[in-house]
Structure 1
Amino acid sequence: MGDEPGTPDAADVLVVGSGIAGCAAALSAAREGADVFLVTKAARPDEASTDRAQGGISTTRGDPRALKADILETSDGTADPDAVDVLVENADAAVEDVLLETLEIGFDSTGDGAFDYAREAAHSEERILHVDAATGTHILRPFLQYVDDHERIEVRDDTAALELLTHEGRVHGVVTDSDPEGHPVYAGTTILATGGIGSLYARSTNPEGATGDGIAMAALAGADVDDLEYVQFHPTAYAGSGEPFLLSEALRGEGALLRNGDGERFMPDYHPDAELAPRDVVARAIATEREATGEVFLDVGPIAFESEFPALAAACRDRGIEAHEIPVAPCEHFLCGGIDVDDRGRTSLERLYAAGECARTGVHGANRLASTSLLEGLVWGLRAGEHAAGLDVDAEPETVEAPTLRNSDPDLPPRFAAEKFARLQRTMDEYLGLERDLEDVARAAGVLRRLKGEVDAYVRTRTARDLYELRNASVTALLIARAARENPESAGCHYVVDDAPLAR
């Protein structure tokens, strides 16, 4: 790996991203004897979505068939059964190996020392390992420390990947923003684990900076993407003033209830499983009741909120909520689609892999089952890292000519990036939210296409992270709009108005 200023970095395996998928990929590749370089634009753990994951990580509890059935049902029958098999057949071994034996995560236990498995929406049984309602934090931070201390892994944070280095259909690494005109990192194989798309919407549970970077870079390089219309909204995000935060599904799993502005419990009218219905059903029901009655509250009175969920209780107190009713509304949460990959994380481009939320494995289909995102990132990260390390691990990475990024343009107009982002978010919120009208989606695609053109004009002559993030966001937003326009049938979280009306 390069150490001198201006010298290109090189590694056997390059990982882009530092959530659970990126850490798992780096660890797995290093275990195979590869020299690994991990770059991440995150400067702190809480800038990765994994750190914000609350509910937990699903296991099979020895019954992979039952978990598979729940995943397929939640996906509205659209998940790839073969991909789900890969997940459930590797789930418990991955959790045991990495989380329990390697990282020694202290998951919550019962009085007799057994794991305190939780149940969440659309799960048929209690099978979710958790730490309070802050599981992601308790997994990611020790994972990052372990990776950072590993002798075969070099971590460089606060470093954004800007472009993939490609030549004749093969990926040779990335260009980063380490230098003013771009800094190449060459690698035998490259694994994208860049997270989600939350910044495309005004309200999201994702951290700031979730701008679809990996999806956009891969698509611009010619990689296949799929299922991008399936944007999942979490039903119960805090709806008061300030930044939204998640009210974990585990609350409803324990018995918390949803009530509308008239104080009525309404979910039994929408689905036989009531509060434990799939996320898309609950989210649309909440939106309907908010429009009809003004508000929806999560009633935590029936559960031991303070003692069982102290972190969430503290977050509510910080916002002045002392009563047992917490205002909630749907909020963008997870992209079920992404860069199309196989069971080892391989994309359609040679030597390019993807794992985690930026990847479309086929596990989620049109709707993700709760607490499977950390599991998918862990399983596919491990598999991608292992396979990537097995390709010419002893060969020197091939260097190709890197594009010269420019800084020749005068200063951007004041607030250019902020104003364009606001325009993008308004378009996504209005036309590509919980419900979609296909004519409106087509109009949104036109707006996003023009926006992308405006941004491209500046990207060609300037190297700035916020500008590239805006470029990536506009590319990904346009891909989502195109996918939604091309799919006239409602399924899961792609809900086409008049195709399958929600009736109470």
Structure 2
Amino acid sequence: MTRETDVLVIGSGIAGCAAALAAAREGADVLVATKATEPEDAATDWAQGGVAVTGSDPEAFRADIRAASDGTADPDAVDVLVSNAREAVADVLVDTLDVPFDGAPPGADVDAYDRGREAAHSESRILHVNAATGSHVLRPFLAHLSERPGVTFLEDAMALDLLTHEGRVHGASVLRDGAVEPTFAGATVLATGGIGACYRTTTNPDGATGDGVAMAAFAGARIADMQYVQFHPTAYPGPDPFLVSEAVRGEGAVLRNAAGERFMPAVHDDAELAPRDVVARAVADERAGGGEVRLDVSPLDPGFETAFPDLADLCADRGIDPADGIPVAPAEHYLCGGVAVDDRGHTTLDRLYAAGECARTGVHGANRLASTSLLEGLVWGLRAGESAAAAGAVEPIETPDPLDRDPGLPDAFADAKYERLRETMESAVGLTRTRSELERARSTLRRLKGEVDAYTRTRVSRSLYELRNAAVCGLLVARAASEAPSAGCHHVVDADDRDAGHGAQYADD
């Protein structure tokens, strides 16, 4: 069986939903293929902090993004984000979806809502719903699209590979119900999220296996800035971990070490509101030198339970008394690099677009400013979907039948490979890196990718392809990190760092 659609969107987070909405508004028939079977399978549903919007001083917003990026953000991309932020939020999140942002009734003017402040922001500009903004955005978005004519969802469906011919993408092969179906499209939009599966400790959902980045790399698209993997400084590190939103620090919570001392003022002038990479490394250093770090929420007024009831419930579920401070540690959080795109989400391949975390727009540079991920996914998703709708007609091509002749692999196979991948990434490609460790990691990951590739040649399964994609992304990160100078969340401590140079990264190593 084959399928045809004007626009194929792969992924159902905010970027994928925005692309589908924009394409449908242009009159295109849209098929959204997603691995998800429920909203919490997408990283958007996990987003806590909120959505940054442009206030009375757009240049301050631009300056904050550039400063958080360690001066590496693309000024043109930053201008696209800031210039389109208010209109996109008002149009989609407020007027279309009635997201119940705190401080005013749904549908109010954007300026009527409360605005919070988070790390590295010079002013309060973040719209939020308690500390669970993502779920209040994604769920109405999915509901709206499911009722919109011209938009069809294909759930529990994994895109395996892009269908290409002479530099043009014609759709993707999609695995669903045990069968691989060629899905042809006039244009294809990747919106598959991040690479959390590459790390043992992450704030991402389980399905964040880097599928879009890996597929694009195999197809020959340019992949850039993979060395910039952001770690969030405040994740609960115990059993059943969860993210403790940066908004809590924005409201006055402070970090204390095992001796009860507040340590961030000695690290950075902005203390707990320093850029994420700075705070994450400081927390890691304190934990390495003296044990546990806790987030002291006692300065909050109103109290923590009143200001952040959803987070308070998470603490209660795990037996944490916030009055004693919340134990925190860094965790892999966000990929700032990915599939290189222009200001319309177009990749280096004809009729292939990307948006959201899998895309490298240039906005984030070496380190993402808090509460810009949902905004970037929304802005670039809308622009990519609109452009994809005008890309051209469907042109089916001949596709080879996938080889699936060998017996399935036991769960222990993937478990062992993932353990090797995550141990390598956690130890050598984490918060702080050295050139020698990166070279060893690159060698290990090259071998791992080769082993997994050998099995995908004769077997087709979701778990195996997810492992392949995660291994590819791990190798891309290690390769990029070994070649790039230290900046932002790519922190290299070797003396020879000053001799390294920048470069684009591809799947072949």
TM-score (norm 1): 0.95
The match for 1:417 among 398, 414, 437 is 414
Q: Is the 8 A contact 1:490 1:499 kept in 2?
A: no
Give the CA deviation at 1:12.
0.6
| Distance (Å, rounded) in 1 between the aligned partners of 2:75 and 2:205 | 31
- Aligned to 1:415, the other structure's residue is in SS state helix
Q: Is the 8 A contact 1:14 1:190 kept in 2?
A: yes
Give the CA deviation at 1:292.
1.2
Aligned residues: 489
Give the CA deviation at 1:403.
2.6
Amino acid at match of 1:210: A
Residue matched to 1:206: 204
User: Does 1:107 find its partner at 2:101?
Assistant: yes
Residues 498 and 269 of structure 1, relative CA distance in 2, 3 Å threshold: farther
Residue matched to 1:316: 315
Q: Which whole-Å deviations, capped at 9, do the CAs of 1:475-498 have from their partners, x for residues lacking one?
A: 1110111100111x2110000014
User: Does 1:265 find its partner at 2:262?
Assistant: yes
- Aligned to 1:154, the other structure's residue is in SS state strand
The match for 1:454 among 451, 455, 466 is 451
Q: Is the 8 A contact 1:490 1:500 kept in 2?
A: no
Give the CA deviation at 1:413.
4.5
1:265-344 alignment runs, 5 A limit: 265-303=262-300, 304-324=303-323, 325-344=325-344
Residues 143 and 252 of structure 1, relative CA distance in 2, 3 Å threshold: same
| Distance (Å, rounded) in 1 between the aligned partners of 2:40 and 2:276 | 24
Residue matched to 2:158: 160
User: Does 1:495 find its partner at 2:494?
Assistant: no
| Distance (Å, rounded) in 1 between the aligned partners of 2:411 and 2:360 | 37
| Distance (Å, rounded) in 1 between the aligned partners of 2:322 and 2:372 | 31
1:61-460 alignment runs, 5 A limit: 61-109=55-103, 114-178=112-176, 180-240=178-238, 242-303=239-300, 304-324=303-323, 325-392=325-392, 395=393, 397-413=394-410, 415-460=412-457
In angstroms, what is the RMSD of aligned CA positions?
1.3
Deviates more, 1:406-415 or 1:247-256: 406-415
| Distance (Å, rounded) in 2 between the aligned partners of 1:215 and 1:339 | 6
Give the CA deviation at 1:293.
1.2
Q: Which whole-Å deviations, capped at 9, do the CAs of 1:20-42 have from their partners, x for residues lacking one?
A: 00000000000001010110001
Give the CA deviation at 1:351.
0.4
Residue matched to 1:58: 52
Give the CA deviation at 1:391.
2.0
| Distance (Å, rounded) in 2 between the aligned partners of 1:500 and 1:155 | 50
Deviates more, 1:277-286 or 1:489-498: 489-498
Give the CA deviation at 1:269.
0.7
| Distance (Å, rounded) in 1 between the aligned partners of 2:346 and 2:327 | 42
Amino acid at match of 1:245: F
| Distance (Å, rounded) in 1 between the aligned partners of 2:33 and 2:355 | 15
Q: Is the 8 A contact 1:196 1:335 kept in 2?
A: yes
| Distance (Å, rounded) in 2 between the aligned partners of 1:409 and 1:500 | 47
| Distance (Å, rounded) in 2 between the aligned partners of 1:152 and 1:411 | 37
Give the CA deviation at 1:176.
0.6
Give the CA deviation at 1:181.
4.7
Residues 243 and 196 of structure 1, relative CA distance in 2, 3 Å threshold: same
Q: Which whole-Å deviations, capped at 9, do the CAs of 1:433-482 have from their partners, x for residues lacking one?
A: 00010111011011001111111111000110000000000111101111
| Distance (Å, rounded) in 2 between the aligned partners of 1:253 and 1:30 | 38
Q: Is the 8 A contact 2:39 2:138 kept in 1?
A: yes
Residues 496 and 31 of structure 1, relative CA distance in 2, 3 Å threshold: same
The match for 2:26 among 12, 24, 32 is 32
Residues 478 and 265 of structure 1, relative CA distance in 2, 3 Å threshold: same
Q: Percent identity?
A: 64
Give the CA deviation at 1:182.
1.4
- Aligned to 2:243, the other structure's residue is in SS state coil
Q: Is the 8 A contact 2:315 2:322 kept in 1?
A: no
Q: Which whole-Å deviations, capped at 9, do the CAs of 1:389-441 have from their partners, x for residues lacking one?
A: 1123xx3x111112311221123255101110111000000000000101110
Q: Is the 8 A contact 1:18 1:38 kept in 2?
A: yes
TM-score (norm 2): 0.94
- Aligned to 1:121, the other structure's residue is in SS state coil
| Distance (Å, rounded) in 2 between the aligned partners of 1:408 and 1:418 | 22
Amino acid at match of 1:239: P
Query: Where does the alignment leave 5 or more consecutive residues of structure 2 unmatched?
Result: 498-509
- Aligned to 1:97, the other structure's residue is in SS state helix
| Distance (Å, rounded) in 2 between the aligned partners of 1:11 and 1:411 | 32
Residue matched to 2:506: none
Q: Is the 8 A contact 2:408 2:459 kept in 1?
A: no
| Distance (Å, rounded) in 2 between the aligned partners of 1:191 and 1:401 | 21
Amino acid at match of 2:356: G
Q: Is the 8 A contact 1:164 1:173 kept in 2?
A: yes
Residues 291 and 500 of structure 1, relative CA distance in 2, 3 Å threshold: farther
Q: Which whole-Å deviations, capped at 9, do the CAs of 1:199-252 have from their partners, x for residues lacking one?
A: 110011000010000000000000001000000000000022x23211000000
The match for 1:483 among 480, 485, 498 is 480
| Distance (Å, rounded) in 1 between the aligned partners of 2:367 and 2:201 | 19
Residue matched to 1:3: none
Q: Is the 8 A contact 1:181 1:463 kept in 2?
A: no
Q: Is the 8 A contact 2:228 2:335 kept in 1?
A: yes
Amino acid at match of 2:259: D
Amino acid at match of 1:406: L
Residues 128 and 500 of structure 1, relative CA distance in 2, 3 Å threshold: farther
